[in-house]
Chain A
Amino acid sequence: MNDKVIKVDMLARVEGEGAFKVVVRDGEIVGTEFRIFEPPRFFEAFLQGRDHMEAPDITARICGICPVAYQMSSVHAMEMALGITVDGPLRDLRRLLYCGEWIESHILHAAMLHAPDFLGYAGAIEMANDGHGDAVKLALEYKKAGNAIVTFVGGREIHPINVRVGGFYKVPRKTDFAPLREQLLKARDLAEKFVDWTASFTFPDKERDYTMVSLSHPDEYPMNEGRVVSSKGLDIDVTDWPAHFREEHVAHSNALQGFMVDGSSYLCGPVPRFNNAYDLLSDRAKAAAERVGLPRDNRNPYRSITVRAIEGLYAVDEALRIIDAYEEPDAPFVAYEPRAGVGMAATEAPRGLLFHRYELNDDGSIKTALIVPPTSQNQPSIEEDLQSFIGDILDQPDEDILLLCEQTIRNYDPCISCATHFLELDIDRG
């Protein structure tokens, strides 16, 4: 039993197709592989030669769960290349749209995909059938508020169509917001209860000293814009990204893996945002974190489920703040002339930092495109978590090891479709 391979050939409750393998020799873990075998999707090559205006709608197709993130990173990068600034109500509307996606994505993952791990069920259906139906109903009702925002601002629920370089195709009137505002006020109570529900779970007592990377903005919880910072002292302009981060191809994965330039791993996503920007959460979100005893410097990745719930509450608060302050802009978008240029941007997708870089030709067509999704960046950290967290349970039945591995991987809400652009578990004990 000192040598073995433990593997899962197709991980459930994740977005896309992936697998995992742990190799054990003489009772020690000698290798962990998080394998993404969903075929590469070549979006970056596909974008070459297309008009810059097509980027938000094409890149939104990379992911059915976080299309807004792709739209936001692409439009911000294009605007840098074109030398235009989008501010005021248009900028606020973008943040509102992003709040909608955070609610949709966080609640879907936390309630339907991750919570069953903590409560010991195979999935949400078994969980709902065994006394947790009210919690599932609450989550479904709460998530509807996120969908409502995306539909309202984005034009439709799936793959919003209203986002364009320079702003939006159409903007709402102040008076149009009333029903959405009412729905969000009700969602705020659900969001508070949802935080308490996730915090009631039992969390594995495991932590690591991650390098936590997120955006940083002086006045706003990280979302649309800011410098790129880490818990280990990094503080750079987004244009310096290529000098500090790199992507590498590893033989066992169809997705590139992201590293710091020194080859070390880092963590992006809700936990780094929470730790790096706690003070910028809404008062209600901070009070909820305090109420449930979530430490400000949380290094336990399993508590990410509660961090997602806190960020959901924050997103509801922030959406209400934006709606209450909204004044209709003079025009739905900032006009500009296409030109050659280079632009890059990072925004905070629900599961972490999403970097885009584009080079444009004189006519505004795309010369080169580079997209670095959060799951690519988190892959090395996922492998290190598994290496660190399962060593003390190797003498337990493979089934228990598998469950902990899957729960660990779901801490990341990995989006494999984005990264191939998830999971099989394979423990090799010789």
Chain B
Amino acid sequence: MTAADHPLVIGVGNIYAGDDAAGRHVAQGLRDAGFPGEVVESAGVAADLVPLFETRDHVILVDACRSGASPGTIHRFDALDAPLPPFLSPLSSHGYGVGEAVELARALDMLPARCEVFAIEGACFDMGTQMAPAVAEAVEHCIAELMTP
């Protein structure tokens, strides 16, 4: 088994913006735990995410979101099934985030054969704040799940 036999995990977010750091912490935690596949951290600009999908069979995107659920809730989506919900198109840089990246990749016929999205519900996305304990717990839960073969 090589890294290419495992999914590419992309942790999206801003490490300095409270709960928005969740996806980045999942990526860092996977690296620390020796995840056998490739792990990438991204600010979540769609134009940078789509090229990462090239030549990949399986991509897992992990991002923070705000849907109104309780903080720490983990939402799971199969991007191949249906368009992602609007709360995954947040006001990220230039208004183009994970939701737009998946839809742009779909329009360009660049979606991987398997493309899953883990969205961790956050509450506070203010610059300079820490992740809430419930979000940090969800991060650990995602890491444990992704590490389980």
Contact = CB atoms under 8 A, between A and B. Distances in A.
Contact of B94 (A15, A61, A125, A140): A15
Contact of A140 (B43, B50, B93, B127): B50
A12 B95 CA distance: 6
Nearest to A137: B108
Contacts of B14: 64
Given A41-B127, A125-B107, A65 B94 contact: yes
26 contacts: A12-B95, A13-B94, A13-B95, A14-B94, A15-B93, A61-B16, A64-B14, A64-B43, A64-B93, A65-B93, A65-B94, A108-B47, A108-B94, A112-B46, A112-B47, A112-B94, A124-B46, A124-B96, A128-B108, A133-B108, A140-B47, A140-B50, A143-B47, A157-B48, A158-B41, A158-B42
B128 to A, nearest CB: 9
B100 interface: yes
Nearest to A12: B95
A143 B47 CA distance: 8
A24 B113 CA distance: 53
B85 to A, nearest CB: 15
B89 to A, nearest CB: 10
Q: Which of B51, B95, B110 has the most CB of A within 10 A?
A: B95
B95 A125 contact: no
Contact of B95 (A14, A133, A143, A158): A14
Interface residues of A, number: 32
Given A133-B109, A136-B108, 14 more contacts: A14-B94, A41-B127, A64-B14, A64-B45, A65-B93, A112-B96, A123-B100, A125-B104, A136-B104, A136-B107, A137-B108, A144-B51, A147-B48, A158-B42
Interface string A394-424: 0000000000000000000000010000000
Nearest to B16: A61
Contacts of A124: 46, 96, 100, 104
A207 interface: no
Interface of B: 14, 16, 41-43, 45-48, 50-51, 91, 93-96, 100, 103-104, 107-110, 127
A242 to B, nearest CB: 28
Contacts, number: 67
A129 interface: yes
Interface in A104-150: 107-109, 111-113, 123-125, 128-129, 133, 136-137, 139-141, 143-144, 147
Interface of A: 12-15, 17, 41, 61, 64-65, 107-109, 111-113, 123-125, 128-129, 133, 136-137, 139-141, 143-144, 147, 157-158, 417
Given A125-B103, A128-B104, A136-B104, A141 B93 contact: no
Contacts of A141: 51
Nearest to A134: B108
Contacts of A113: 94, 96
A278 B135 CA distance: 52
A105 to B, nearest CB: 10
Contacts of A144: 51
A129 B107 contact: yes
A113 B104 CA distance: 13
Given A64-B14, A129-B107, A17 B47 contact: no
Nearest to A11: B95
What are the 10 A-B residue pairs with the smallest beta carbon separation, nearest first?
A128-B107, A129-B107, A64-B93, A158-B43, A125-B103, A64-B43, A15-B94, A12-B95, A125-B104, A108-B47
Contacts of B51: 140-141, 144
Nearest to B41: A158
Contacts of B41: 158
Contacts of A12: 95
Nearest to B50: A140
Contacts of A133: 107-109
Contacts of A125: 100, 103-104, 107
Nearest to A156: B41
Contacts of B48: 143, 147, 157
Contacts of B108: 128, 133, 136-137
A141 B127 CA distance: 31
Nearest to A157: B48
Contacts of B47: 107-108, 111-112, 139-140, 143
A108 B100 contact: no
